[in-house]
Structure 1
């Protein structure tokens, strides 16, 4: 059986990669510059070829593969995008915007049959963003045909987060037919709610912020949603950190670390209604019967080390846990992130929803 291969650029913790694996593809290469955001990548994808490198400086990614496929089936990636993001002031001079240009440069070098670029929806509404994309695409040979900017939302693919994004899909017309992704994208009939995603999870546990994973017992309940059941399934062969899989099979997971709040903060959270913003912290309180808003990432030390505002739990006076955020984004329970809440939320907030990624890639 011929294995279909994929390359993941700007891979982060591996949300896009997980979607590709679940869609039946095998990893040939993943590249990211951030050793912290990728710190659990090799754990969750033990057979992967992860390389830590600055893709602006890499001349040809094919030299990073031991046995490079003559023509990769799929190249995916989400170049860092804060320069276009609605979350903060747009910065037309943000050097990370150049990474879109380098993404297409690597497409030209690697010549995949199909490529998918994912980015923030601000790319579609930014005149500078559209210009960057248009100029970047001009690097490709004429036999590559592209979709233009496609607006999507992770909630329409079954994830429990209303996360608006854009895609650009391209294909080598010499070898493959137009995937016509826009025609194949059909929103789910019923959106996944926060209740569907997290109501079966145990509450947070008080732990010290240490550089090791904390394992917590959780039990199976029969009255959980189809979405939660799917994320409780053990990983496919060649996926998952062996220690995490053993713990998972024994009924233990990570990511339930509690966040300490003062009594005043708890009182304010309690008074805040579902779907509203707590006026002092500006934290948004989730609604049980709706998808979550976009989970925000925060920044690394190079950008000030800011922790993003975390959503307030719908019925408990606290912010959500790492595992609850992971469930909302569409990560399975065996997937591990980082021992700290800060970097775990950076991983999740920067990731492509695996639920969305799987459906998009399977539709090609």
Structure 2
């Protein structure tokens, strides 16, 4: 916790998921007030670690039930209480569901998930936080329609990011935005995201300040300033070849195995961050029960792939694969984006998919952070469930969030100091 930054920053996390953004902010010394997440599975993980947890705890208001709820339910059920929070909340963060914006799917301005962003704006009007951070996929800033065209009943021209930024500017916020690579902040993953960073105070471009702070942040965390954290650095101690396996007990399903974990005697700088003083084995270590034919197919994929790059169409055709995205990791480089689909990525040296914990390591979740609920889901339940792999894939990497928290706490302290000096100058001038 970075107490040396001075001013405590109170925040609310909206569309909080399992708590990646909240965790980073708490580690930066911010004070969590509330987290709004409608999926019970994701909220259970957040509650377990950050509300009822031993290391960090939200300062949860008595009037708000500790449970999953939608942003709409929060607004409709507690509008008076939310209004009373006005001027007491320094920061509001949240990444509205991004499927309607993602370039990986069909971008549809009528997708109801896009309306979540408008609910976020309603909250902004009620609470008036000093700072706002919105995180989303890079496609968030892609055009839905060309100028002069329309889709359905939508009058949207340009990107949804343009719409939100215009609305925030209209509410008096100074808006800065752009794309960022999480790898620049020590995350072992080339995860390109779109950030909108806003302030009620006039000042410098906060997004640009965040990008420029990456080297300083990595140095503070003990990571090489010019070094890209590799996948091997993140999950080397979780390799299973020639190591003891034991029964997996944390999924409630028999027949699965996991690595009998033993921490290395010497920790790499990144692994030291992930172990974070934790002396026990991490949870979510369950290995998939791959069929012999699946293992053989993984080996063929390995032979035809270029490590670190998605399998080419010609290779997919040769193998008879209908799946569009599958990548064999490169041990010495950062991972591609961790998604909600565990079979998108194959381990760099073993013919298997990654465990949920390996995905969590690549997302920069420390080992003490425990994921709850089922590991995966399928069929019609996919639209409702948020199992562990989905929780992890949807999360904001805590390392990036911690860097955001550090920057904004410093900005808040500087702003308060500036206001105090102006007040003193005004009093002196009036004597």
Q: In the alignment, what sits opposite 2:228? A: 191
Matches of 2:259 and 2:349, distance apart in 1: 21
Q: In the alignment, what sits opposite 1:43? A: 48
Q: Give the number of the structure whose alpha-carbon radius of gyration is greater.
A: 2
TM-score by length of 2: 0.71
Q: Is the 8 A contact 1:215 1:253 kept in 2?
A: no
Q: In the alignment, what sits opposite 1:269? A: 298
1:54 to partner: Cα distance: 1.8
Matches of 1:72 and 1:132, distance apart in 2: 25
1:99 to partner: Cα distance: 1.2
Q: Is the 8 A contact 1:19 1:361 kept in 2?
A: yes
CA deviation string 1:228-280 (max 9, x = no partner): 1111014xxxxxxxxxxxxx53x222111010111121122123153353733
1:108 to partner: Cα distance: 1.8
Matches of 1:3 and 1:211, distance apart in 2: 43
SS at structure 1 position matched to 2:41: coil
1:25 to 17, 24, 30: 30
Which blocks of at least 5 consecutive residues in structure 1 are unaligned? 235-247, 299-307
1:121 to partner: Cα distance: 0.2
Closer/same/farther in 2, CA of residues 310 and 138 from structure 1, 3 Å limit: closer
SS at structure 2 position matched to 1:362: helix
Matches of 1:315 and 1:191, distance apart in 2: 20
SS at structure 2 position matched to 1:326: helix
1:215 to partner: Cα distance: 8.8
1:227 to 270, 276, 280: 270
Closer/same/farther in 2, CA of residues 87 and 138 from structure 1, 3 Å limit: closer
Moved more, 211-220 or 114-123: 211-220
CA deviation string 1:287-326 (max 9, x = no partner): 101111111125xxxxxxxxx5341111011111011000
Q: In the alignment, what sits opposite 1:332? A: 366
1:89 to partner: Cα distance: 2.2
CA deviation string 1:103-155 (max 9, x = no partner): 122112111111100000001223458543333344445532111x3111111
Closer/same/farther in 2, CA of residues 66 and 335 from structure 1, 3 Å limit: farther
Matches of 1:75 and 1:211, distance apart in 2: 38
1:348 to 387, 392, 414: 392
Matches of 1:94 and 1:219, distance apart in 2: 46
Q: In the alignment, what sits opposite 1:82? A: 99
Give yes or no for the alignment of 1:153 onto 2:181. yes
TM-score by length of 1: 0.83
Q: CA-atom RMSD, angstroms?
A: 2.9
Moved more, 283-292 or 180-189: 180-189
Closer/same/farther in 2, CA of residues 66 and 123 from structure 1, 3 Å limit: closer
1:66 to partner: Cα distance: 12
1:207 to 224, 231, 248: 248
Q: In the alignment, what sits opposite 1:360? A: 404
Matches of 1:351 and 1:255, distance apart in 2: 16
Which blocks of at least 5 consecutive residues in structure 2 are unaligned? 1-5, 61-65, 146-155, 216-225, 377-386, 409-431
Matches of 2:83 and 2:115, distance apart in 1: 28
Q: In the alignment, what sits opposite 1:54? A: 70
CA deviation string 1:325-352 (max 9, x = no partner): 0000000000111242211110001100
1:359 to partner: Cα distance: 1.0
SS at structure 1 position matched to 2:179: strand
1:217 to partner: Cα distance: 4.8
Q: How does 1:94-109 map to 2 (within 5 A)?
A: 94-109=111-126
Matches of 2:140 and 2:104, distance apart in 1: 13
Q: Is the 8 A contact 1:100 1:136 kept in 2?
A: yes
2:350 to 309, 316, 339: 316
SS at structure 2 position matched to 1:169: strand
Matches of 2:182 and 2:196, distance apart in 1: 15
Closer/same/farther in 2, CA of residues 4 and 360 from structure 1, 3 Å limit: closer
Q: How does 1:172-191 map to 2 (within 5 A)?
A: 172-173=200-201, 177-178=203-204, 180-186=206-212, 187-188=214-215, 189-191=226-228
Q: Is the 8 A contact 2:189 2:334 kept in 1?
A: yes
1:361 to partner: Cα distance: 2.1
Q: Is the 8 A contact 1:5 1:27 kept in 2?
A: yes
